[in-house]
Structures are given as structure tokens and as C-alpha cells.
Homo-oligomer: A and B are copies of this chain.
Amino acid sequence: MKIAILGTGMVGKAHASRLTELGHQVVMGTQNVEAKKVEQTPDNSGQTFNDWHQQNPDVELITLMEAAQIGELIINALSGQVSVEALKKLEAQIGEKILIDIANPLDFSQGMPPTLTVCNTDSLGEQIQAALPKAKVVKTCNTTNADVQVKPQELAEGDHHIFMSGNDEEAKNKVTDLLQSYGWQNIIDLGDITTARGTEMFLPLWIRLFGKYGHSKFNIKVVK
């Protein structure tokens, strides 16, 4: 499948590598392609984007608009703060496609720990669905770090959970297939897109656990 990943951060790169490994044709969308290619800022692992791209030459780096046009399935891995505005500009290209939203509405402007720009009576997932009413928005993966998202088996042999929220059942079935191809065995469909409030509001607890452990290779398992 042709998959477009919007955003070139840790989350976007993790999904791009994994999806390529799984045999998909992956394009990655960024605001300014030439600037991204020569960007010198390293990510948390110390790599520049170009370092990563040299290791992942099959991923084509194109503009956000080209990516949204080409992709049969779209993954939003942009930062939460810019997602709604950026995606709204791609409404025509995204159309009725499945739009997997991984972003969290984190606000780091007041320092650590971040707060949420939207919560409680609304969520980023809902805002994106409202901005692109024809798109089939499925919120998922936003409750774990990027590596756990794409390789769940590397943590506790996959014995932990991932959540999913969205209004379209068929879209959620397809996203389930994709998550299973990553290795997810335990996927909880919480319901419609309003349930994204639950997973986005989990972030403040995730952030405290991250602060306590000093690493993000953890997740939660729902025990019944």
C-alpha cells in the first residue's frame, strides 16, 4: 500500500522505517523539502534527518501536499500544535481517505512537564475530524513512544495494550490490520472519535512515568 506520513520527527521516522520494512511504499511529507534535507539539528538519538534518510533511502521525501495526494492511507505525525491548521490545508488531497492521527496536543511553551492545548471537553482527534469531515480519522498509537508503537513485541513480548478511536468501523478494521502487522496483539477499540479525549488525557500520566523512569520504553496493560 502507498502510505503517506506527514511529519519527519521521531514518530514519523519510526513508522516510515517500519512500514518500509513491511513492504509498503512510503512517502514522507514535510513543509520544506530542501531545508529538511540539509537540516543540521539532531533528533533525540543524535541523528540529523539526512543521517536517517541515508539509512532509509526507499522513503521518498516530498511536500506535505504531494504526500497527502499520493498516499492511499495518511498518517499524521505532525506536532499536535500545528496539526489542525496543516491538515486543513490538505483537505482536498486527503478527501475520504483514512487519516491515522498519532499526534498529541502537547504544549511545551511553559516548560516541562507540558500541558495539553485541548482536553476535557474536546480533543485533537475530534478537532481534526471536525476540520476534515470527510476523512476517516482514526486516533491511535498516541499513548506510547514511537519505538513501542511500531515494534510492540520488543516490550514484554507484546503483552500490553494500544487504543483506537474513530467514527468509521471499516477504517478501524483497516487500521487494526496495520497495527497487527506491526505486532500488536491487544488493540482496544474505545469507540467513536470523542474517546480520543481518554487517550490524549492519558499523556499527563505517561509524562510523569517518563520523568520517573528516565526512559520511554514502557506501556500499560489493561488487567481484567
Contact with B along A185-214 (1 / 0, CB 8 A): 000111100010111011111111101110
Q: How far is the CA of A159 from the CA of B156 in the complex (A)?
A: 14
Task: Report whether A191 and B208 are in contact in the complex, using a CB–CB cutoff of 8 Å.
Answer: yes
Q: Which of B120, B159, B218 contacts A120 (CB 8 A)?
A: B120
Given A155-B223, A156-B223, decide whether A198 and B208 contact each other with a Cβ distance below 8 A: yes
17 contacts between A and B (CB under 8 A): A116-B120, A119-B120, A120-B120, A156-B223, A163-B205, A188-B209, A188-B212, A190-B209, A191-B212, A198-B206, A198-B208, A201-B203, A202-B202, A202-B205, A213-B224, A220-B222, A220-B223
Residue of B whose beta carbon sits closest to that of A221:
B221
- Residues of chain B within 8 A of A121, CB atoms compared: 115
- Residues of chain B within 8 A of A53, CB atoms compared: none
Residue of B whose beta carbon sits closest to that of A107:
B120
Does any Cβ of B come within 8 Å of A104's Cβ? no
Number of interface residues, chain A, beta carbon within 8 A: 38
Q: How far is the CA of A207 from the CA of B191 in the complex (A)?
A: 12
Task: Report whether A190 and B208 are in contact in the complex, using a CB–CB cutoff of 8 Å.
Answer: yes
Q: How far is the CA of A127 from the CA of B192 in the complex (A)?
A: 33
Task: Report whether B198 and A204 are in contact in the complex, using a CB–CB cutoff of 8 Å.
Answer: yes
- Residues of chain B within 8 A of A218, CB atoms compared: 222-224
- Residues of chain B within 8 A of A217, CB atoms compared: 224
- Residues of chain B within 8 A of A163, CB atoms compared: 205
Does any Cβ of B come within 8 Å of A140's Cβ? no
Residue of B whose beta carbon sits closest to that of A224:
B218
Does any Cβ of B come within 8 Å of A76's Cβ? no
